[in-house]
Amino acid sequence: MSIPVVDLADFLSGDSERKAAFVQQLGKAYEEVGFVAVKNHGVSDSLISNLYEYVQQFFSLPSQRKLEYEVPGLAGQRGYTSFGREHAKGSEAPDLKEFFQYGQNVEDNDPIKSEYPENVKVDEVEGFNKTLYEAYKNFQKSGTALLQAIALYLGLDENFFDGHVHNGNSILRCIHYPPITIEPKSAIRAEQHEDINLITLLVGASADGLQILTKQNEWVGVTSLPEQIVVNVGDMLQRFTNNKLRSTTHRVVNPPKELWHTSRFSMPFFLHPRSEMSLACLESCVDENHPKTYPDATAGEYLDERLREIGLKK
């Protein structure tokens, strides 16, 4: 499936017509599909290449070494999470993946620093920690620009989201789907789900497998071209806009049998706001034909609820 392609350079160009066209393209795509591919996204090819190289080195470590980076009590929010720990909401079957999560570095005197655990540093892979830090900062910058466009599409001030995502609870997740060694019980590596956050930025995975559920209730494969990232709406933005912008259901399927011996790597950046942000439905998105769908909640309350539902938090 060819998903809509937008060029972030249009939004950042300083040209009011190009900027306005970008806002409409992005908003329309999110209303109709839920996914877009973004060109000129600001995350360099060399940084993405380094990220994949070091992440693959980390997941190649012996299991016992990786387990030393799994921190009990953090609900998978920092460091390593071992194979089969997470499942999709409403599914008991564990996803066939292991992952490493890297979170916010608060570098000013913001008191929100006390809410976040420290990032887990990996000793064995030189360049791993530095590259995760740089990638996180770049994704955060690009994601903030995309939220500015979304704010304009919703009739809000362009900088509406800026304060909410400054030092927000965003996560860079490095995922490894290991080779399949025995006949799987399911054709699915990661069951169908919607993301929890505001938006997700995803650099091209190392192998195919991502599928989205269309409005016609059909599963279609999604691949981004080189030099593009795929960006989708998450549940927090769906709640905030009272379903005007829809969180798209997606999954990761197993490869054909001849490729079972291969790994798949994926690097989503889940852009979260600060925990105190209200997700109460925007009044401008509520009317007689679109009654308020969701109860009021803060981002922190909603995240806590969802982490329990997917098995990462008890």
What local confidence, expressed as pLDDT, does residue 228 receive?
A: 87
Q: Specify the pTM.
A: 0.91
pLDDT for the residue 205: 57
Phi, psi of 283 (to 5 degrees): -60, -35
Q: Of 200, 167, 199, which Cα lies nearest the Cα of 275?
A: 167
pLDDT of 186 reads 67
pLDDT at site 220: 85
CA 52/CA 46 separation, integer angstroms: 10
Q: Say if residues 132 and 2 touch (Cβ distance below 8 Å).
A: no
The sign one gets for the Cα dihedral 131, 135, 137, 138 is positive
Contact 154, 282 (CB under 8 A): yes
Residue 99's nearest CA partner among 68, 70, 122, 138 is: 70
- The type of residue at 170 is S
Residues of the chain with pLDDT under 70: 1-2, 84-95, 184-189, 204-207, 224, 313-314
Domains and CATH numbers, the chain: 5-309 (2.60.120.330)
d(CA 124, CA 127) in angstroms, rounded, equals 9
Scored b (16 or more CB within 10 A) or e, 207-242 reads: bebbbbbeeeeeeeebbbeeebbbbbbbbbbbbbbb
